[in-house]
Structures are given as structure tokens and as C-alpha cells.
């Protein structure tokens, strides 16, 4: 009988202890739930503020806010060409920079005739290291640049393992994706500071959201741009300069040609024109955004996803894409 009494007392003590721990866990669970709900509400409000309210309130006067001239790098195709057109649509004069003179002439003429703005162009190959910048600096010295869009960038022919990339590819990505934004900003920013107004838009990528295997050097270069943009904004916001990091997911451009699905416009893969029309409306509102509401949902999910899950899906997608690309080469 005594043994039964002792067991009863032990059971009672364990029950009281479990009750305490359950209450503690309930409090932690409630705190976590409230925190996630508040975060979700804030993210939803931010998305509406960026992607819905600006569309309802009309277009911002970019000339008044930043200046009459904009410079866009990598502007003969894809996002760069579309963004330059969107700027011109809002009355901003544009200077296009790319390496193909014939394409530059054609795009420059088309934008000027369509939107009745002034256009100019500079031929420059950003893969040539320090070589193009003296000429660019000379060409821009008498221009009052209000907006700089560092769009020029390059990707691999298809996702691949780091050791399969040539040294030329590695250097080209570093020069084109990283050095160009640094040097173009260094050329244009002093004039903006002098006027106490201006905007710099750096086209990063959602690949900076989490480590993305088989896109390692590309993702790292875009992560650099994202960090560079955010830090630079803190440095120069008090001087009237707005610096924005755009972090889109896949856009149906030539850069996505390695994948048949991604290279075609769809619900989740917008055309460059569709993307640019959304992204430009976020200028001045957010220092870091995907620029497109559908991509914002994906970026938020990706940011909160465990790193190993993101990496697993990235490896799975990239391996399939690489296999398809290699099979196409054999044909």
C-alpha cells in the first residue's frame, strides 16, 4: 500500500511539472504566432504600399524628384531596354550604354521617336576591366544625371558547377556584374551630391536571398550589389540620394534562354516590359524590393525558408536545366 501511495505522489508531482511546461510552451507558441501574424500583416501592407497604392495614385514626377537625364547600362535588351523606355515614357531623357553600336543606335532612335525625348548613347564593353570608364566619364562630364540604372549583367550559358566555369567567364562576371556598378556610381554620384538629389538603381537578383548552388559566382555577384546598394543608401540618404536594390526572380529575357519554360512569359515569369513598368513605380518608395508583386511573394517565402531546403530545390532545378542544355548542345 505504501508503494502505491509513493507512486501516486510521484505521478502527482510529474503532472504538476508537465502542467508548468505545457503552460510555458503555450506562452512561447502564442508569442511566436503573434509575431508571425504581425510580420505577415506588415509584409502585406508593404506589398500594397509598393505595388498597388502607387498605381492608384498616379505617376511620380521623376524629373522634378531626380532630374532630366538618366543613364542606363546594358540597355539594348531585356530589363535595361524596358526600364529605359519606362523612364522615357515619363519624360526623362536617357543615355544608353552597351557594347553593340548598331543596337544602341536602333534603341536610341526608337525611344526618341516613340516618347519624344532626347536620347544619346555610349559604346562600352564592361568586360574589359578598367578600359571603358575614362571615355564614359568624359562623355558624361557635362550632363546633369538624375537617375543611374546599373543594369548590365551576365550569367553563365546555363547553371553549372564552379570548377566547370572558365577563367574568362569568372573575370567577365566580376567585371560586368560588380565592377561596372561601382565605377558607374563613382562617376555619377558626385554630381548628384552636388545637386542634392538623385537616384541609383542596382539590378540585383533573388539569388541573393539565399546561397544558390550551381549559380554560385552569379549569386555572389548579385549579393554584392544588394549589400552595396543598402550600405550606400545609408551613406547618402541624408544628401538627397535614393539608392535602390532590385531583386527580381526570373524574367523572360535572353538571359533565361537556357530554360525553355523560364524564357517564355507566364504568370510567374513576366516580360521585361511588364517587370519594368512595375519596378519603376517602386522608385523612391523602397530601398530593397523585387519590383514585382508576384516575385515579392516568392522572395518572402524564400527568405524564411531553411537554407538547406532552398539549396536542395536550387540544386534540383539547376541540375535538370544543365542536363537539358547539354542535351540540346548534342543535337
SS3 state of residue 204: coil
Which positions are catalytic?
A: 218
CA distance 91 to 98: 22
CA dihedral 128, 288, 218, 176 (to 10 degrees): -10
CA distance 169 to 174: 9
Cα 266 off chain centre by: 19
Instruction: Write the DSSP assignment of 98-158 as a string of letters.
Output: ES-HHHHHHHHHHHHHHH---EEEEE--GGGTTTTHHHHHHHHTT--EEEEEE------SS
Cβ-contact 72, 95 below 8 angstroms: yes
CA separation, residue 21 to residues 13, 28, 30, 37 (Å) = 13, 10, 14, 24
Cβ-contact 67, 84 below 8 angstroms: no
Amino acid at each position: 500500500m505504501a508503494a502505491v501511495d509513493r507512486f501516486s505522489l510521484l505521478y502527482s508531482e510529474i503532472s504538476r511539472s508537465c502542467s508548468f511546461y505545457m503552460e510555458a510552451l503555450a506562452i512561447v507558441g502564442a508569442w511566436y504566432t503573434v509575431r508571425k501574424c504581425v510580420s505577415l500583416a506588415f509584409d502585406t501592407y508593404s506589398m500594397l504600399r509598393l505595388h498597388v497604392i502607387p498605381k492608384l495614385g498616379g505617376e511620380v514626377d521623376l524629373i522634378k524628384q531626380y532630374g532630366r537625364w538618366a543613364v542606363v547600362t546594358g540597355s539594348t535588351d531585356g530589363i535595361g531596354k524596358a526600364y529605359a523606355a519606362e523612364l522615357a515614357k515619363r519624360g526623362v531623357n536617357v543615355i544608353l550604354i552597351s557594347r553593340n553600336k548598331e543596337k544602341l543606335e536602333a534603341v536610341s532612335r526608337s525611344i526618341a521617336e516613340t516618347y519624344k525625348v532626347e536620347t544619346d548613347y555610349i559604346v562600352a564593353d564592361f568586360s574589359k576591366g578598367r578600359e571603358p570608364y575614362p571615355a564614359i566619364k568624359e562623355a558624361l562630364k557635362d550632363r546633369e544625371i538624375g537617375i543611374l540604372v546599373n543594369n548590365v549583367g551576365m550569367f553563365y550559358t546555363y547553371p553549372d558547377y564552379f570548377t566547370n566555369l572558365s577563367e574568362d567567364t569568372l573575370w567577365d562576371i566580376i567585371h560586368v556584374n560588380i565592377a561596372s556598378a561601382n565605377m558607374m556610381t563613382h562617376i555619377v554620384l558626385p554630381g548628384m551630391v552636388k545637386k542634392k538629389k538623385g537616384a541609383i538603381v542596382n539590378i540585383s537578383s533573388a539569388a541573393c536571398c539565399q546561397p544558390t548552388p550551381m549559380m554560385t559566382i552569379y549569386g555572389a555577384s548579385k549579393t554584392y550589389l544588394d549589400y552595396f546598394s543598402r550600405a550606400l543608401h545609408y551613406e547618402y540618404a541624408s544628401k538627397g540620394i535614393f539608392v535602390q536594390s532590385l531583386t527580381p526572380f526570373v524574367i523572360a529575357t535572353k538571359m533565361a534562354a537556357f530554360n525553355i519554360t523560364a524564357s517564355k512569359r507566364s504568370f510567374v515569369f513576366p516580360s521585361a516590359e511588364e517587370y519594368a513598368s512595375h519596378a519603376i513605380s517602386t522608385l523612391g518608395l523602397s530601398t530593397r524590393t523585387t519590383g514585382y508583386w508576384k516575385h515579392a511573394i516568392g522572395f518572402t517565402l524564400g527568405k524564411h525558408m531553411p537554407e538547406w531546403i532552398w539549396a536542395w530545390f536550387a540544386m534540383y532545378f539547376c541540375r535538370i536545366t544543365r542536363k537539358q542544355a547539354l542535351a540540346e548542345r548534342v543535337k
